[in-house]
Structure 1
Amino acid sequence: MKPPAPYLPAATPALSQADQEALTDLYVRGTPANTLRAYERDLRYVTAWKAARFGSALDWPESAPIALSFILDHARDLNDAPETDVARETAELLIAQGLRKSLSCPAPSTLDRRIASWLAFHRMKNLTSPFDAPQVKQARAKARRAAARSPAPKSTHPITRDILELLLATCRGSRRDCRDRALLMLSWASGGRRRSEITGLMREDVSLKEFDKSGVVWLSLLETKTTQKGETPRLVLKGRAAQALVHWIEIGGIEDGPLFRPVSKADRVLKRRLSPDAIYQIVKHRLEQAGLPEDFASPHGLRSGFLTQAALDGAPIQAAMRLSLHRSLAQAQKYYDDVDIAENPATDLLG
């Protein structure tokens, strides 16, 4: 049997072997796959940091001084630090291992995420967290304020309808083109789906029962970043997006299994599912084909573009959120605010 990941519950003498295995299985099944992957990345980073900084493995529970050192090491720009600075030496080792990009101060969100994962590891093991110590708590709050910056957009530009049309115009007649057209239109028109949601779609998640009668296709997502298994509402595709998806299902011979799959150079549809990185490559390729810079937008531009277009077209934000499945009104409102401020007549007072 594969040994449990280090962040999973530690063996407890009070539990039988069967109960321990059941608890571990419960954590795995009850945690989204993307979250598990994030936990593993963060644990790998934190483990490497402590080994480089202190020459020792993680302790469970970890001590407050170690937690404080982690915050201090990531709360300043190390480019100007002396070469003998221990935090800089540690960062350079992490860069050499491919775990850190530069000596610059990490984004507050990155530090928060790694600390949140570390906190989660302690909760899973039923241990007291070192980040609850008053001094550590205060240092974390000060570090967040000191490094505060405007959050960088996940996509340089939103892929609004006009940009999407340029991408779709590059999809002509091959099976690969049919797949990309359906993937782009579904991703955008169903509310701006995330990469993991697209690659996780199965043929059985698509209902065509109403397509011949009303041109409507229903989608069932297993789960999303903001919804749990069994709680995600069905989504709908209409018009061109529905037609493009049905065409891909027919041309690709998708009777069961993954909905979106790789297509070989010989234009043969393979059986395995697309990876999230493949969607990044598809968007990049279509941008190039459309004559736009490859870094013009990322796959998240489909999500931000859907909400931006909804704002431009005057769609109520509540209606857009029913498709995008944003949990936070404030987060979705940002896209509407960008449109509102640009159209605000007070911006034209100088003429």
Structure 2
Amino acid sequence: MPLTPLPHHPAAPPTLSDSDRNALHDLYVRGTPENTLRAYERDLIYISAWKALRAAHTGLGAALRWPEQEEVALPFILDHTRDLREAAKSDPAKQVAEALINRGLRKSLVCPAPSTLDRRIASWRAFHRMKNLESPFDAPLIKQARAKGRKAAARSPAPKSAHPITKEVLEDLLATCDGAMRGVRDRALLMLGWASGGRRRSEIAQLMHENVSLKEFKTKGLIWLQMVESKTTSKGETPRLVLKGRAAQALYHWVEAATITEGGLFRAISKSGRPLPRPLSPDAVYQIVRYRLKLAGYPDGFASPHGLRSGFLTQAALDGAPIQAAMRLSLHRSMAQAQKYYDDVDVAENPAADLLG
């Protein structure tokens, strides 16, 4: 008589001492990018609030459980794959959504973007992995519901910047940077952010003096950048990036003028025009780009800091640079993602698009 297979149970987390538990926690923190940690924190706050509010309708308890139940995972997907504007006032999903809006955790009753839901589910699954538990989102029914919901809510992705900051736009921004300390800093920031491959604002803000090598500037006109990590690379795996020409000159001038010998590369500047020890935040980088666009005469919302990234790749495509060479600097991990910028240029330059004259 064959033995009846034992039902599967998630592996129990190993018994750890307090010191080992603290060491494991520290390992997770040190081994996870800061942007990911911030996303985990936001998602945990949102998920906890959603379940606490939904508990009145599910009767499954307000606190998160480990592992979480499929009876909770499925409503989470269903609540976030519908446009709730036309839902009845008594609809539990609408009531929960309105409460989340009042708490500032949700923007509207419109169905969230599939990417937003994907990220929150990914965080929830990551929390289970950290506890050595299986996630309810791996169950066949839950996976199928998520796939159907993704198709039902599919939409054209909105660009992170309304327009790319191509070389022409960048030149307009640089023309607004005078010889004052703030202008010297902004010129260096914009040129580094663009010419080094289109750096994200978080990457610009995180650059330290020790990440920059000026040894070859006077002999070869080169400045080397060694970022600790990026969105697509882990600590210790980010290749060196190079600045040359005007971009290298602008950065060298800023470092010399501000007498930066350690700490953050780009600093806040006092009202009197003196560089401060405090490094810029990612939001400060956003404000600088916005300010320079306004000075250059561009309308509000014309571009965001991500326009430096999209503009670099768009210009590379316009100038006929091989996509592999552009990706070597932009550090795109996905060829398909980088190809989108090249495709837009190719379509615009395609002779078949001008058949009507």
Q: CA RMSD in A?
A: 1.1
Stretch of structure 1 that moved more, 227-236 or 306-315: 227-236
For 1:345, the equivalent position in structure 2 comes to 351
Do the aligned residues in 1 keep the contact of 2:264 with 2:278 (CA within 8 Å)? yes
Residues 136 and 12 of structure 1, relative CA distance in 2, 3 Å threshold = closer
Looking at structure 1, the residues matched to 274 and 239 of structure 2 have their Cα atoms a distance apart, in angstroms, of 33
Give the drift of 1:14. 1.6
Do the aligned residues in 1 keep the contact of 2:164 with 2:307 (CA within 8 Å)? yes
For 1:48, the equivalent position in structure 2 comes to 49
Question: Is residue 226 from structure 1 mapped to residue 232 from structure 2 by the alignment?
Answer: yes
Do the aligned residues in 1 keep the contact of 2:13 with 2:131 (CA within 8 Å)? no
Give the drift of 1:13. 6.3
Do the aligned residues in 2 keep the contact of 1:307 with 1:335 (CA within 8 Å)? yes
Runs of 4+ aligned residues of structure 1 deviating over 6 Å after TM superposition are none
Looking at structure 2, the residues matched to 109 and 228 of structure 1 have their Cα atoms a distance apart, in angstroms, of 22
For 2:268, the equivalent position in structure 1 comes to 262
For 1:146, the equivalent position in structure 2 comes to 152
1:138-185 residue CA offsets vs partner (Å, 9 max, x unmatched): 110000000011111100000000000011111002111111100000
For 2:123, the equivalent position in structure 1 comes to 117
Do the aligned residues in 1 keep the contact of 2:316 with 2:326 (CA within 8 Å)? yes
> Which amino acid in 2 is paired with 1:190?
S
1:101-141 residue CA offsets vs partner (Å, 9 max, x unmatched): 00000000001010011011111111110111111111100
What does 1:1-351 align with in structure 2 at a 5 Å threshold? Answer: 14-55=15-56, 56-351=62-357
For 2:4, the equivalent position in structure 1 comes to none
Do the aligned residues in 1 keep the contact of 2:205 with 2:279 (CA within 8 Å)? yes
> Which amino acid in 2 is paired with 1:34?
N
Give the drift of 1:12. 5.2
For 2:3, the equivalent position in structure 1 comes to none
Residues 13 and 208 of structure 1, relative CA distance in 2, 3 Å threshold = closer
Q: TM-score, normalised by structure 2?
A: 0.94
Looking at structure 1, the residues matched to 157 and 226 of structure 2 have their Cα atoms a distance apart, in angstroms, of 32
SS at match of 2:290: helix
Do the aligned residues in 2 keep the contact of 1:202 with 1:257 (CA within 8 Å)? yes
SS at match of 1:272: strand
> Which amino acid in 2 is paired with 1:22?
A
Looking at structure 2, the residues matched to 349 and 171 of structure 1 have their Cα atoms a distance apart, in angstroms, of 43
Structure 2, unpaired ranges of 5+: 1-11, 57-61
Do the aligned residues in 1 keep the contact of 2:73 with 2:137 (CA within 8 Å)? yes
For 2:9, the equivalent position in structure 1 comes to none
Give the drift of 1:229. 0.9
Give the drift of 1:293. 1.2
For 1:6, the equivalent position in structure 2 comes to none
Looking at structure 2, the residues matched to 77 and 106 of structure 1 have their Cα atoms a distance apart, in angstroms, of 8
Percent identical pairs in the alignment equals 73
1:30-87 residue CA offsets vs partner (Å, 9 max, x unmatched): 1011100000011111111111111511111110010000000001100001111111
Do the aligned residues in 2 keep the contact of 1:12 with 1:20 (CA within 8 Å)? no
Give the drift of 1:294. 2.4
> Which amino acid in 2 is paired with 1:245?
L
Q: TM-score, normalised by structure 1?
A: 0.96
Give the drift of 1:17. 1.8
1:205-250 residue CA offsets vs partner (Å, 9 max, x unmatched): 1111111111111111000111111111110000110000011001
